[in-house]
Structure 1
Amino acid sequence: MGKLHDQLKAIGYTGHALEVMLIRLLFCLFAEDTGIFAKYQFSHFIKNKTKTDGSDLAAQLSMLFHVLNQPETQRLKNLDIDLAEFAYINGQLFAESLPPASFDDEMRALLLEASEMDWSKISPEIFGALFQSVMNPQERRSLGAHYTSEENILKVISSLFMDDLRIEFEEIRRKGRGKARIAALDAFHEKLSNLDFLDPACGCGNFLIVAYRELRLLELDVIEEIYKKDQLLDVETIVRCNVSQFHGIEIEDFPAQIARVAMWLIDHQMNMIVSQHYGTHFARIPLKASADIQNANALDVHWATVDYIFGNPPFVGKSNQSKEQKQALANIGQDVANIASLDFVTAWYIKATKIMKNSPNIRTAFVSTNSIVQGEQVPILWGYLLAQGVYINFAHRTFQWSSAAKGKAAVHCVIIGFSLNSAKNKIIFDYSDIKGVATKIDAKNINPYLIDAENIIVNKRKKQISNALMMTRGSQPTDGGHLLLNEIEKQELIAKEPQVEKWVKRFSMGDDFINKTPRFCLWLKDCSPNELKQMREVMKRVELVREMRLKSPKKATQEWANRPTLFTEDRQSESNYLALPRVSSERREFIPIGFLTTDYIAGDKLQIIPNATFYEFGILSSLMHNAFMRVVTGRLKSDYQYSVKIVYNNFPFPQNPSDKQKQAIEKAAQTVLDARAKYPDSSLADLYDPLLMPTDLRKAHQALDKAVDAAYTTQKFNNEAERVAFLFGLYEALVEGESDKIV
């Protein structure tokens, strides 16, 4: 189907007409395998009524579409028998008149090849995958269109409503007796038929399709409990659930059309199952009821009043939003401070919450990137939502995205179920298992970091909460690269001007530090004008720095053009210091940190702690610190983006450790450094790669963790979540009395 689309587009048949043509062909292929049409009726029509070169295929399809939109009583009396035998479809699917297309032999062959597949057992995922396969990557990025797999859809709808409905059904089925049991089942059946569901970013309708299918399967179980299987039934009267209970909003026309048609197709699939169970043919043809799919911007239009809201809103980070998206987010969050710092998906959280304020029984669940439960977004988004009375009822912690579509997104997601009513049984699904299998954890409360703990919000903090040593960023050159040198550039420069060697210092950004990449800089802060002017090659570089700064749009950078020999931000430590990269791979269990000497210049992609000892090294290298970091830090793509103000300054160090405990940590820290020293040719990236990490280094870290844990508590921790919950309790005690402690 994707190939057929591409070939039609290549000849100039594009836009809305192409999209409708593709959807109609999809319906016809499905219809002949599912009893809407006779078996092979559509494919035989193509084979027998069109020429092999495809020259008349467009005309025959146009005639067929016209016939499918006409009741049998209104058709021409002398209509070709092969056309006259097609069923009347209705539902506006074939109502629109399309401009004539043009086919050739290859296109006709592609259509016939597609018809050879058994479309009756098609997965609902195909509809989203079909759409994504014909979108170009640029459109896909701009729309944030990442189509959810059925597995992930079930995570949402099962936790939001299907599990509860199943439990309710099982209780009625087991406990009831006689007429009272039948009456209770009938009332439950009626309840199912009156539930309403909304996906306000529905795309091609995958969430709606799977949710409707699961609802119909539950309804069938209810019907089988009420009626005997061999009982003669008017199936049409006993099936009460319908696609009209489902509502969707989609900004793009093509996927909105696919969603509408896909809901008819899944409805027919479910009707076929009912027919098989009761030995009768049940088909809702001609189409009457339809899903309510709006082709609109969900942030601009009214949302239908429903029982459940769910879906997969667009994943667009704050820096990648278009002007229109930024404005839409601002409009929705007019009462949210610092709304511009949030990802686009948060607009759906905010709008859903405002709707729930008017209809407090609504429950909502969205798939989102995990950035909304990390870093600076937590105080902004969840500070607002919790103030509105929101409770998190269930949460799927970070898991790897999976999709059936071509060009699928490589992202890490969370699923959050929330409402204005607190659920009795709150559940966290944890995916720390190496195979990605979820572990269900009962929780008393789920906070914005998806931890079973109080609703603590970690805000930016200027000073370290435990009065530990200050951490700051390294020095920033803002030089256009002209003060920086790689190994070859350094050697060439010294060969030309040997006197420059004493002004060349080792330099490192975060990535250089982790990967042991040789890098250098010209550190000219104490170089006299007389000595500087004798180094012509250096002067050329200094002049380029001046020119680069003058061209900067920032006034502060322009002013630094008068001091082109210096870094614009000089935070170099006068003592040896501990260095920690600002960005580190999420694959690592530990952020690689290490000591550097004063003559080693730290760039601004390194965080530094001057005068640090083995004690600070041990604490920051521990699992306690890394577990806390993983929960509260922000992300750069999927990598950890370590923030001094959010992570380090809020991290609770052990409170009043004894000298013996401190010495144990220092000794264990030295053992870690000794284990590293055995591999002088290996970088920190190698040493802390989970697949390459040496056994003795891992054992050294395990010993360090025991020493650090002992300085905090005698409590034993089974997982990282328990560690973070403990640290949050400690954090809460430290910030007691502060106004921003708990929202």
Structure 2
Amino acid sequence: MTPDEFIAAWKDNPLTERAGAQQWFSDLCDLLGVPKPRDADNYCFERGARKSGGGEGWADVWRRGCFGWENKKPGRDLNGALKQLTDYALNLESPPLLVVADRERIIIHTAFTGYPDEPREIRIHDLSDPAQREILRWVFTDPEKLKPTKSCQAITKEAATKFANLAETMRKRGEDWQRVAHFLVQCLFCLFAEDERLLPGDLFADLLKNAQGDPGKAAKRLGTLFAAMQSPHGEYGDHDIAWFNGGLFNTIDIPPLSPADLVELHSAARDMDWCAIDPTIFGTLFERGLDPAARAPLGAHYTDVDTIGKLIDPVVTQPLLLEWEAAQAIIQAGQGKKGPTRKARDAYQGFLLRLYEFRVLDPACGSGNFLYLALKALRDLEKRVQVEARDLGIPTTDEFLQTGPHNILGLEINEFAAELARVTVWIGDIQWCRRNGYQYSKDPILKPLDAIQHRDALINPDGTEAEWPVADVIVGNPPFLGDKKMLGGLGAQYVTRLRKRYDGRVPGGADLVTYWFEKARAQIAAGKTRYAGLVATNSIRGGANRKVLDRIVETGAIFNAWSDEPWINEGAAVRVSLVAFAATAAERPIVLDGNPIPAIYADLSGSTAEHENDLTGARVLSANLRAAIQGPTKGGAFDIPGVTARGWLLLPNIHGKPTSDVLKPWVNGLDVTRRHLDNWIIDFADMDEADASLYEAPFEHVRVCVFPARQGVARERRKRYWWQFNEPAPGLRAALSLVSRYIATPEVSKHRVFVWLNAATMPDKNLVVIVREDDATFGVLHSRPHRVWALKMGTSLENRPRYTSSSTFRTFPFPDGLTPADTKGPTEALESGAVLPTVAADRRAVAARIAEAAYSLNERRESWLNPKEWIERVPEVVPGYPDRIVPAPGHEAELKTRTLTNLYNKPPAWLNYAHQTLDAAVAAAYGWTDYTAQLPDEEILRRLLALNLQRPMPAEARKAIRPKAD
């Protein structure tokens, strides 16, 4: 068929919609040279015609992976046709193109996930143009060619960048940032409203263009427009202005503008599609750009929608779906001869009322992405309910939905973030309504969002506990602020009041995020909410943080969790735990990391059919006390380069004592996992100021580099004793004075490695020190049983496991006779060079086997790290310190690559053999005669937990054993 023949046949054709649709489409296929619909599974007419309620199909034509197509008679409403396609998009497998046609015009809507809709209209007379026919062929053969060039995220980033640059320019002129930010948020909403045709024509763009040369005139006109948008009967020139209200334009305070500002704003209006901004990241990006206090750079990443959905789905969508399924059963049972019965209609209306009254609270809502996604989930669910109810014969209305911005509640301490949250919700909701064919709110367009409150979620100004609104569910991403950073981030006065108010509920040493978990638990216990789903750094699984999860499982249940997920916090990649909990797990599937299991424990591990390893019951053991100690916290610039230290070591002091008294080699985690950086540290221990000053050069350095910073700290002791470390760790010093070497491991590292350090070396706070000299202890720590235990009992930072003296070391059950209490006495050197602790006679053989294997492992590792052909050993300038290892000439680059991290990233065969030998020796010490490398980790944990529960615990320790699930 030629274009002329097609146009002649179908121009002003009188056939009815039903009579003409399929013949018209078949002729179009002939014109384009594409196949006709003849495959019921992949390409057909009337897709879904046999749906449960009878009637028409989901689409007149459907092609898998290409399009859903709805035909109407000329002159009919194509918006209604598009709505039918969007209603059934999921049933149609979410095709990338939605096409509506009335035989004389074809409109192609793009529906690619994450991309804006860029409609293309082709009228019947356009089909004589080969280029237009080629576009239509792509609909059938290559939809990707019609994909918009910019994603919604890219458009939002570009918009945020434009506004960030404009805000920075205005702030540099001395304008108040809050005044600037509020004005720009009003402008960006106007840009969105103009592109969504909520404002007439190009009104906002023309205002900016016509007043570019006169900033004063522009400011006056902008004020007039904003006032009109706030008014129920607003006018601007010859235009009637819709009533927006909502509070966004209650304050009109336009900062002084420059001609350049107006040019930038006009460029934003002219060049950008503001309909396409992405509400899931809108608030985050604009907060970064407009608030100078925002810490993340504008270009930093942000958390994706799917990850947030892992919390929204189990606490919002799935519970409501269960309720809808119950209502559906009543509706299906209530089908009479004349249609649905009163009982069926009541079930439908009752569920709609349930949706109308449903409330979601985000008590740390930030700029609103969780709130918007919760609202979107409710809107999507109600749309699904409308479609399914219609299929069951229930009369529905397409005009308004019951869900809307009234369903969400928020608390936010940052006033600007709270304002952005409201704008995020407004914009996102208008977009949702437009794209799904529903009427957005009117009179006013922006319903007040007073339920998003600007206030502290934890304590009131008078120190009393803040109240949270009653809500069906709580969701959110509370602030990640570690215990040690709370004083600096929040101030000593606030932190003191906070801890006092929650004393007995949140333990000392817990991170800030845990307070939201405890309050959500209390809301559930009080019957003020049903479910909660919150994000925390994955450190919530251990230490003081885990106490809040212990309390949650004691009074309720965790029913859904993701124990270790990637997340973006202030632009930085971190690892988090997503935790959903309730008063009981009854009637809900229990899911951990996407897998159904019988129970989830407080450390976010779970029971399985084969193993019941609730390691939250593991206890601190008496035999392990005081053997593992954290390195001291220096709290200032006490560290100096080695070249400086060696110069000072040769200087005389007026009292005749050597500088080596207060100057020591310093080792941190990177020195262990990479190569030693040759840093030293000034350590005055507990000297008074007068004695410290006698070591002239080190004292002067501390006076200049440490003293000024210490004057601004909150803790009085650190301010008064400014020449000493923050935490001098006297216990560690006393312990190290009794040994010639000690074992150390980084608190956080990709691989759990242990090394020997000379006792004259000062460890940093990020090293855990095990004060033992024997190779048997070194071997047990480096064995698979301890590694598996440490990974399970510890948390992680990003993707690097964390090791602590409390949760990982003090709970670990060493083999009988080889506990830290058993190995603290004298040692003996074996013929091989391995060092053996003094142990009971019947344990000497197994101890020796471990010591020999550990000694061999360490020797081989050291040979690889420091090949004798590549290094030179240089004695230090004063005796008593370990030799310095430096590259031999010509081997500098090669030696840089010899690190423990690189070694364990790609372990050579000899390293694997050495570890396997060590593992077998340690397993024999436990009496595990069935041990092989294939023994499951869960079985190893089961055996270790049983040992832990048999061993004595300190009298002052409390049990932390949770009753097993029935």
TM-score interval, smaller chain: 0.7 to 0.9
Matched, 1:127 2:290: no
Matched, 1:242 2:404: yes
Matched, 1:295 2:450: no
Within 2, Cα distance between the matches of 1:560 and 1:267? Answer: 57
Deviation string, structure 1 residues 579-604 (Cα, Å, up to 9, x no partner): 113x3443x222x2234567x54546
Matched, 1:442 2:564: no
Matched, 1:318 2:483: yes
Partner of 2:667: 509
The counterpart of 2:308, out of the listed 153, 158, 163, is 153
Within 1, Cα distance between the matches of 2:453 and 2:684? Answer: 64
Within 2, Cα distance between the matches of 1:543 and 1:89? Answer: 66
Partner of 1:63: 224
2:348–2:389: 8 Å Cα contact kept in structure 1? yes
Give 1:443 deviation, angstroms: 3.1
Matched, 1:456 2:610: no
Within 1, Cα distance between the matches of 2:371 and 2:719? Answer: 52
1:634–1:640: 8 Å Cα contact kept in structure 2? yes
Deviation string, structure 1 residues 689-725 (Cα, Å, up to 9, x no partner): 4775442355236525752567655588798677556
Question: Structure 1: which amino acid aligns with 2:961?
Answer: I
- Aligned to 1:569, what secondary structure does the other structure show? helix
After TM superposition, the score normalised by the length of structure 1 is 0.78
Within 2, Cα distance between the matches of 1:347 and 1:36? Answer: 42
Give 1:213 deviation, angstroms: 0.7
Within 2, Cα distance between the matches of 1:733 and 1:684? Answer: 45
Deviation string, structure 1 residues 449-481 (Cα, Å, up to 9, x no partner): 21124373556655428xxx9445679999996
Partner of 1:531: none
For residues 640-651 of structure 1, the aligned pairs below 5 Å read: 642-651=803-812
Partner of 1:435: none
Matched, 1:219 2:382: yes
Deviation string, structure 1 residues 75-129 (Cα, Å, up to 9, x no partner): 57xx621xx2332223233233x23433233212222232232222321111221
Partner of 2:115: none
Within 2, Cα distance between the matches of 1:571 and 1:55? Answer: 74
Deviation string, structure 1 residues 134-161 (Cα, Å, up to 9, x no partner): 2235x649xxx99754333212212323
Within 1, Cα distance between the matches of 2:414 and 2:703? Answer: 46
Question: Structure 2: which amino acid aligns with 1:696?
Answer: A
- Aligned to 2:581, what secondary structure does the other structure show? strand
Matched, 1:375 2:594: no
Partner of 2:913: 700
2:412–2:453: 8 Å Cα contact kept in structure 1? yes
Partner of 1:529: none
Within 2, Cα distance between the matches of 1:35 and 1:520? Answer: 67
Q: Greater shift after overlay, 28-37 or 324-333?
A: 324-333
Partner of 2:776: 615
Partner of 1:396: 562
Q: 1:359 to 1:502 in 2, by over 3 A?
A: closer
Matched, 1:198 2:361: yes
Partner of 1:594: 755
- Aligned to 1:392, what secondary structure does the other structure show? strand
Partner of 1:528: none
Within 1, Cα distance between the matches of 2:572 and 2:681? Answer: 38
Q: 1:10 to 1:740 in 2, by over 3 A?
A: same
Within 2, Cα distance between the matches of 1:546 and 1:263? Answer: 52
For residues 679-690 of structure 1, the aligned pairs below 5 Å read: 679-681=864-866, 686-689=899-902
Partner of 1:286: 444
- Aligned to 1:412, what secondary structure does the other structure show? strand
The counterpart of 1:357, out of the listed 503, 508, 525, is 525
- Aligned to 1:227, what secondary structure does the other structure show? helix
Question: Structure 2: which amino acid aligns with 1:734?
Answer: R
Q: What is the percent sequence identity of the aligned residues? A: 22
After TM superposition, the score normalised by the length of structure 2 is 0.61
Question: Structure 1: which amino acid aligns with 2:217?
Answer: D
Within 1, Cα distance between the matches of 2:661 and 2:203? Answer: 83
- Aligned to 1:198, what secondary structure does the other structure show? strand
Question: Structure 2: which amino acid aligns with 1:688?
Answer: T
1:510–1:603: 8 Å Cα contact kept in structure 2? yes
Question: Structure 1: which amino acid aligns with 2:614?
Answer: E
Within 2, Cα distance between the matches of 1:428 and 1:718? Answer: 26
The counterpart of 1:99, out of the listed 250, 253, 264, is 253
The counterpart of 2:580, out of the listed 417, 434, 451, is 417
Within 1, Cα distance between the matches of 2:367 and 2:680? Answer: 53
Matched, 1:569 2:743: no
2:739–2:773: 8 Å Cα contact kept in structure 1? no
Kindly name which structure, 1 or 2, has the bigger radius of gyration based on alpha carbons: 2
Deviation string, structure 1 residues 383-441 (Cα, Å, up to 9, x no partner): 55455x132222222233226xxx613433222222222345565554xxxxxxxxx23
1:672–1:700: 8 Å Cα contact kept in structure 2? no
Within 2, Cα distance between the matches of 1:729 and 1:194? Answer: 49
Matched, 1:676 2:839: no
Matched, 1:26 2:185: no
Stretches of structure 2 lacking an aligned partner (at least 5 in a row): 1-162, 461-465, 607-612, 686-692, 711-715, 819-842, 867-894
Give 1:446 deviation, angstroms: 2.2
Give 1:333 deviation, angstroms: 0.5
Q: Greater shift after overlay, 661-670 or 21-30?
A: 661-670
Q: 1:622 to 1:282 in 2, by over 3 A?
A: same
Q: 1:446 to 1:560 in 2, by over 3 A?
A: closer
Q: 1:38 to 1:229 in 2, by over 3 A?
A: farther
Q: 1:174 to 1:679 in 2, by over 3 A?
A: farther
- Aligned to 1:272, what secondary structure does the other structure show? helix
Partner of 2:512: 344
Q: 1:314 to 1:135 in 2, by over 3 A?
A: same
Within 1, Cα distance between the matches of 2:588 and 2:396? Answer: 39
Matched, 1:486 2:651: no
Partner of 2:268: 114
Give 1:244 deviation, angstroms: 0.7
Deviation string, structure 1 residues 528-585 (Cα, Å, up to 9, x no partner): xxxxxxxxx9975698799999999479989999xxxx9993433655544113x344
Larger RCO of the pair (alpha carbons < 8 Å, separation 6+): 1
The counterpart of 1:330, out of the listed 499, 509, 512, is 499
Give 1:504 deviation, angstroms: 12
Within 1, Cα distance between the matches of 2:697 and 2:412? Answer: 54
Within 1, Cα distance between the matches of 2:348 and 2:666? Answer: 69
Give 1:359 deviation, angstroms: 0.6
